[in-house]
A and B are shown apart, each in its own frame.
Chain A
């Protein structure tokens, strides 16, 4: 029987609106932003509506770039569509100044290098156009031997 590769692609383009657009613009400019909610919390990525009151959120604020891993899972065998081609951590990462974490990949090298509370910074893609892939992944804030005390217990 005959077989052949078959790729089906839906080339969607989505308008962002001003709030998500600000987040995407920030990625292109290597800046992380969130939105300030009615209760003063900063939501990252920015939400268009207040999660409690439902009102429009219009104040975009800069956060990060430093951030903290709040929880994580180690990927031993990345698949083709993962952001990294070597083992990495999927993590919830809370940028400094934000009150909510966002999902990201951490290129930590080894499972032993990741722990809750790990300090990370973005690694930006060389070519950025205003999409989530502009934030290629996160990396530990310091990778010098001074960091060895951060061990998974």
Chain B
């Protein structure tokens, strides 16, 4: 009945377990699902509600800071730099430039996306904050920083106050914008040298 005298088991060697007769010969459980679920009621807030109501009308509405002039989309209602309300609403075009992207090759629970797909930061023309969305209608390995893209909307009768009303962004076919600014990257290196896969050069010459 007693297991063999206990000796330290080496790493990788399975521990020898003595099972009761009732469990001998049955297939052993090796893993358990332990999902952690958090149920929220999400309240969008005043600024995001304005933005999402615009989306339901097929409009992309940013908000401009009266101090620095930057246009934030989606707006949060205030300028993070100047701490003042963004009082002026700005309707933005549906075209922009990819400032960063990630090719997703691993399926995750609950996602219906076909692999691989690309998630990107997109800087809409006239705005100073990139929004995150999907890139489609181009193979994932051809997506690049500087690529010009446009929003593809759901049919008008399916528009709702959700960013899912934009199905994804697709290439416009315009030449790449090699000088696109990455929001938050204020040291001004630009991205030109990234386009085409060439690494940026350190302007101090210590590269």
Contact = CB atoms under 8 A, between A and B. Distances in A.
B4 to A, nearest CB: 8
A12 B23 contact: no
A29 B26 contact: yes
Given A2-B49, A5-B39, A25-B26, A60 B18 contact: yes
Best-buried of B18, B19, B26, B36 by chain A (most CB within 10 Å): B19
Nearest to B8: A56
A130 interface: yes
B29 A130 contact: yes
Contacts of B199: none
A59 B42 contact: no
A9 B37 CA distance: 4
A16 B32 contact: yes
A66 interface: no
A21 interface: yes
A56 B33 contact: no
B142 interface: no
Contacts of A135: none
Contact of A5 (B20, B27, B42, B108): B42
B6 A33 contact: no
Nearest to A24: B29
B5 to A, nearest CB: 10
Contacts of A5: 39-42
Question: Chain B at the A interface: mostly helix, strand, loop or mixed?
Answer: loop
Contacts, number: 130
Interface in B21-80: 22-23, 26-46, 48-49, 52-53
A8 B40 contact: yes
B198 interface: no
Nearest to B56: A2
Given A28-B29, A62-B20, A10 B15 contact: no
Contact of B33 (A3, A6, A13, A31): A13
Interface string A27-57: 0110101001000000000000000000110
A22 B49 contact: no
Given A3-B43, A5-B39, A59-B18, A22 B28 contact: yes
A22 B21 CA distance: 12
B22 A62 contact: yes
B155 interface: no
A8 B37 CA distance: 6
Interface of A: 1-19, 21-22, 24-26, 28-29, 31, 33, 36, 55-56, 58-62, 130-131
25 contacts: A2-B43, A2-B52, A5-B39, A5-B40, A6-B39, A6-B40, A6-B42, A8-B40, A9-B38, A10-B36, A10-B37, A11-B109, A12-B34, A12-B35, A14-B31, A16-B30, A16-B31, A19-B17, A24-B32, A36-B2, A59-B3, A59-B18, A60-B18, A60-B20, A131-B33
Interface of B: 1-4, 6, 8-9, 14-20, 22-23, 26-46, 48-49, 52-53, 108-110, 161-162
